[in-house]
């Protein structure tokens, strides 16, 4: 039996490795357009800023590693251009333009998402970059050095956009961030929490323009300036961090059902065609709180989906659960995290909520090095926790993880307020801020 996986991101390679973990006999083939595999796109901004020394450092495995250690064939620099689901075969074109076909028993679509570049004037000028692949990162650094860039404009104030902005600032560039929304990080923070992030970035010397789109990029052959509203700003390069769109073209060619946002799958990660699975950024998922379809373009989601698909193909029953879209980012000395429902999205959906807030330190007040941390919790009107946002100097990720579990298990404010948290002066306060935020909400609920 042969399983063909299209895509070498976290979802595709996790599917391949999971199949092999549970079955040593299935032939597993991964086909990818990329030259390098098994790296984290999320690490690109940290190479740009210099915290990670080289892009080579974020490549964890090579195709040879997968063949030698796991008996998985990885075919690189090859595009799959068609899927014939009736005859269980795909058509491919390699880097030299040679066409070939391959049969499969199971097909896994791990085609990911493509960067969304708004159709604005000047988007094809030299010096305009997207941030999706390791090659993008290398090209950005090369351009900075070759063109001796001094001014950069980052379009989009999501996590990648802000991480890139800080990274470019660390490289010595003057950085301007342009965002259409009225706040930074609109996907997982409310405006009041986002304001703290914005103030930190501005303190670090990054300029931010909100509620205005990028009108056009100006230049003859390469970037010279940008137009935002009625203002023109000089620029040597533009980073388009304007989000991604699911890559569903092969799914359409195969005849798979497409949902509201992306490929429709069941809890086993099967598409509407039983022997075709789909995983990663190209599929839509279910929101745990609302039960509505949504997207979850996170590496953690991709890995979990890959494990589910791999187990089912290998004959082990597994299912993928609805998502909370837990997210965390580190920008300079600031950590930002969120999980579940925001107050903004709850209000849009007319869901009654109660908010709990707390500020504290990450260590005992008398212990050196403690950093401020601010917490906002969202509860339903009957006290069940729906969401949590945290901005602080350290230890944000583990608190978001804890709250993800609490939301998933439908814990209420009273239970969080009385939960047992560990304490030691170097790592925590005796009054855990999560508990304090729940207590604040509990007073309102009572």
Phi, psi of 154 (to 5 degrees): -105, 125
| Cβ neighbours of residue 385 closer than 8 Å, sequence gap 6 or more | 340, 377, 378, 379, 403, 406, 407, 410, 411, 412, 413, 416, 438
Look at residues 390, 410, 393 and name the one whose alpha carbon lies nearest to residue 188. 390
Q: Could you tell me if 197 and 107 are in contact, meaning their C-beta atoms sit under 8 angstroms apart?
A: no
Q: For 247-292, where are the E strands, in sequence order?
A: 276-278, 285-286
42 classed as catalytic: yes
In whole angstroms, what is the distance from residue 285 CA to residue 30 CA?
24
- Catalytic residue, candidates 42, 92, 256, 282: 42
In whole angstroms, what is the distance from residue 394 CA to residue 397 CA?
8
Q: For 317-384, where are the E strands, in sequence order?
A: 327-331, 334-340, 353-361, 372-380
Take residue 407 and report the two structure tokens written for it. 């939301």
- Three-point CA angle 231, 232, 233, nearest 5°: 120
Q: Which sequence positions are flagged as catalytic?
A: 42
């Amino acid at each position: 039996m042969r399983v063909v996986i299209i895509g070498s991101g976290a979802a595709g390679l996790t599917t391949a490795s999971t199949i092999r973990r549970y079955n040593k006999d299935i032939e597993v083939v991964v086909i990818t357009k990329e030259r390098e595999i098994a790296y984290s796109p999320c690490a690109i901004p940290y190479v740009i800023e210099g915290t990670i020394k080289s892009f080579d450092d974020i490549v964890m495995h090579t195709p040879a590693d997968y063949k030698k250690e796991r008996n998985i064939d990885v075919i690189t620099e090859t595009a799959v251009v068609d899927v014939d689901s009736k005859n269980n075969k795909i058509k491919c074109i390699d880097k030299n333009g040679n066409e070939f076909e391959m049969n499969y028993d199971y097909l896994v679509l791990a085609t990911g998402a493509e960067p969304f570049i708004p159709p604005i004037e000047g988007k094809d000028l030299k010096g305009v970059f997207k941030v999706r692949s390791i090659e993008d990162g290398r090209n950005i650094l090369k351009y900075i050095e070759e063109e001796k860039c001094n001014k950069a404009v980052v379009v989009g104030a999501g996590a990648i956009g802000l991480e890139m902005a800080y990274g470019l600032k660390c490289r010595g560039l003057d950085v301007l961030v342009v965002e259409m929304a009225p706040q930074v990080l609109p996907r997982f923070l409310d405006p009041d929490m986002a304001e703290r992030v914005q103030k930190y970035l501005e303190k670090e010397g990054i300029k931010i323009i909100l509620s205005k789109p990028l009108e056009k990029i100006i230049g003859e052959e390469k970037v010279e300036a940008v137009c935002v509203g009625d203002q023109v700003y000089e620029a040597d390069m533009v980073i388009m961090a304007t989000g991604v769109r699911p890559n569903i073209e092969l799914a359409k060619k195969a005849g798979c059902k497409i949902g509201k946002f992306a490929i429709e799958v069941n809890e086993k990660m099967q598409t509407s065609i039983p022997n075709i699975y789909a995983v990663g950024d190209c599929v839509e998922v279910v929101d745990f709180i609302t039960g509505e379809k949504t997207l979850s373009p996170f590496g953690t989601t991709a890995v979990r989906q890959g494990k589910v698909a791999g187990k089912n193909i290998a004959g082990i029953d597994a299912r993928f659960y609805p998502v909370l879209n837990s997210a965390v980012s580190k920008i300079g000395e600031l950590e930002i995290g969120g999980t579940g429902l925001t107050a903004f999205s709850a209000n849009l959906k007319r869901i009654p909520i109660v908010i709990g807030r707390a500020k504290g330190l990450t260590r005992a007040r008398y212990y050196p090095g403690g950093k401020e941390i601010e917490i906002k919790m969202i509860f339903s009107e009957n006290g069940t926790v729906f969401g949590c946002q945290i901005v602080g100097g350290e230890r944000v990720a583990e608190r978001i993880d804890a709250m993800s579990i609490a939301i998933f298990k439908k814990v209420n404010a009273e239970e969080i307020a009385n939960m047992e948290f560990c304490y030691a002066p170097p790592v925590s306060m005796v009054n855990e801020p999560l508990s304090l935020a729940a207590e604040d909400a509990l007073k309102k609920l009572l």
